[in-house]
Structure 1
Amino acid sequence: MSILITGGAGYIGSHTTVELLNAGFDVVLVDDFSNSSPAVLERLEKITGKKFPFYQGSILDTEFLDKVFTKEDIELVIHFAAFKAVGESVQKPLKYYKNNISGTITLLEKMKEYDVKNIVFSSSATVYGTNNPSPMTEDMPTSAINPYGYTKLMMEQILTDVAASDPSWSVTNLRYFNPIGAHESGLIGELPNGIPNNLMPYITQVAIGKLPELNVFGDDYPTPDGTGVRDYIHVLDLASGHLAAVKYNLSHKGAEIFNLGTGHGYSVLDLVKTFEAENKVTIPYRIQGRRAGDIATCYASPEKAKEVLGWEAKKTLKDMVRDSWRWQTTNPNGYED
C-alpha cells in the first residue's frame, strides 16, 4: 500500500516525500509542474536512494486520476496540490477557486470511488483571519480576506463535512504557519515563480544579487521593532509533522485539525539580522507602508500537535537561514542548475 502525494514535486511536497521515504513508506507522486520542476524527481532519488512511481497530470482530470488509482494501491492521500500566491489569487480568483476547490472535490470523489478514505490536507494559518490573538489555537474562529484564504477555508470545510457524513473517513487538516529553509543537502528548496511572494526567498535573492533590496512592509506595528512578527518553521520540521500526521491518520477516524508551527514569533528584522549574522552577507532593505490585510503578530500554539501527534518543531531560526542560503547559493537559478 502506498501514500499518494498530490503536488509531490513542490516545495513542501518534496521535503515530505523525503521524510516518508526515509521512514520506510511507499509513495506515489502526482504533479503537473505548474509550480515545480521535473528536476526535483531526480534529486529526491539522489537524496533518498529510492525510486518511486510518478504521474504527471492535474487532479482536475478525472481520467488521469482513474489511471493513478487503478495502477497504484493507494492507502492514504496527502493533498498539497493547490495554487498559493495571495496576490495572484486577488487578480485571478476564478483560477484559484477552480484549481483549489474543484480540484479537491474531484480528488475526493475519486478517493471515494476507489475506497480510499484517508487524507492529510495541506491547510494554512491564513484561515485564522485578522482578528484572533496569538498564540493561535485550533478552536479559534476562522475567516479569510482573499481568494487564496477562502479556498483553504472552504477546502477544510469540505473535508470536515465529508468526514461527518461518513464515519469511515479519516481527515487530518494541518494548518501551516510560515515554512522556510531547505533540505540540508542543498538539493531541494523553495523555487518561486518570478518575484518571490514569501519573505525568505526574497531575502536570499537579494543576498545573491538577483534583486536590489528587500521591501519591509510596515515598521509601526505594536511589536518589539515595529515590523510584523510571524511563526517561521523549518520545512523539514513541517515534513516531520506530516509523517506524524500520517501515522495518526491511519489509526484514527473522523476529522482533526493541527497547527504546525514553533510557537515562537520572529519579526521581519529578526529574520534579516539572523540571516546576515549567520551567512556573513548584507541585506539592504527599504521600509514601505503597511500592506492591506497584514496583521502585527501571528504565531501558533503547537500544544495540540505535541500532545496528540507527539510532534514538535526542533530546528532553530539559525538552522532555517543557513539552509535557505545553502539552497540559494548551490542553485542560483533554481532547478535550472
Structure 2
Amino acid sequence: MEKSKVYFCDLYSNSQNKNVPNNVRRLFDEAGFKDLIEKNDQVAIKLHFGEKGNTTYMSPVAVRQVVDKVKDCEGKPFLTDTNTLYTGSRTNSVDHLTTAIENGFAYAVVNAPVIIADGLYSRNYENVKIDKKHFESVKIGGEIYNSSAMIVMSHFKGHEAAGFGGALKNLAMGCASAAGKQMQHSDVTPVVKEKKCVGCGKCVNSCPTKAISIVDKKAVIDSDVCYGCGECPTVCPTRAVTIQWESDSDVFVEKMAEYAYGAVSNKKDKVGYITFVMNVTPLCDCVPWSGRPIAHDIGILASTDPVAIEQACYDLICKEMGHDVFKHEHPHVNGTRIIDYACEMGMGSKEYELIKL
C-alpha cells in the first residue's frame, strides 16, 4: 500500500520566502488542495478561534492565507467552529462570534465571514449515520455537514482528557454539536482529591450544570448532575480534580475518532488538513489562558490524510523532545488510540512519507 504524503515546512527561516504566511500558501499548493475545490464550492475552513484569554490559538494571518488560496480556486470560504459544552466565551453563537472577532478573526483581517456551524444554541445539527462500535449516528454541526469542501486547520497541543489534540480532535469535538460533545464525554467522571483541595471554588464557577459545591471547605461533585464535560480539572490550581474513567480511557478517544469519521463521511476527496506544531501547550485552546509550551516549535504540516498528519505531528514532537511529552503531562490517557482507531475505521494510514519543502 502506498504511503500517504505529508508535506512539512520547518521554522528555520532566513528569508521572506520562508515566513509562515508563505509556507502556508506553499503547503496548500504542494498538498494539492486546489484539486479538492470546485468553482462556487462553499468551503468550510474549520478552526478553533480560541477562548477569551487564550493567546496561543492559530494566527488569523495564517488563516487568511488559506482563505485567499480558496478564493484563487474560485471557492467561497467561510471560517467555522461549533459552540462549546462548558461555560466560557463560546457557549452560544453571539458570544462565540464576539470572541472570534476580539481574537483577531474579523473580516478585515481574514477576508472571509465567520459562521458558527451549529446555530445560536447548538441546535442546528445533522444526525449522520455511521454504524460504528460506540455510535450508530453522530450529531455534526449543520453548516459543516452542508459545506461542499473543508480545510481543517489545527493547532497541535496537549489535552487533559485526550492526551493531545490535532486534526482528529478538531473534527471530533470541533464539528460536533453540544449534544454530540456530551455523547463523547459520557465516560468522563471527575473526582476530587480532598487532601489537595483548598476550597477555592474555581471549579464551582466553571461548572455548566452546577454539579459542584463547597462543603466543609472542600469541593464536592454531584455525579447525578455532572455530565462529564471535563472543564473542572483544567481550572483546578492544585490539580485536586482529576478524571476517574467510568470505562477505559480508550473508549473516550475511540468515541472521538467515530465523531471525526462522521464529520467527513459526506466529503470524500474534499477535505484537506493543515496542522501547526507551534506553541505546543499542555492544554487545549479552550482554556482561558495559555500554559508554558511543553515542546519546541517545529513547523507546519499539510496532507489530505487526517491519520497520517496526526501521526506525523506526534512523531516529530516525540523525536524532537526525546520522549512522549503528552504521556508525561497526561499519564492517565492513551492518546495515540485515536490514531490507531481512526486507521482501523479506514480514515487514513499511519504509514506516511514526510516531504520537506
TM-score (norm 2): 0.34
- More strand by percentage: 2
Does 1 or 2 have the higher relative contact order (CA < 8 Å, sep 6+)?
2
- More helix by percentage: 1
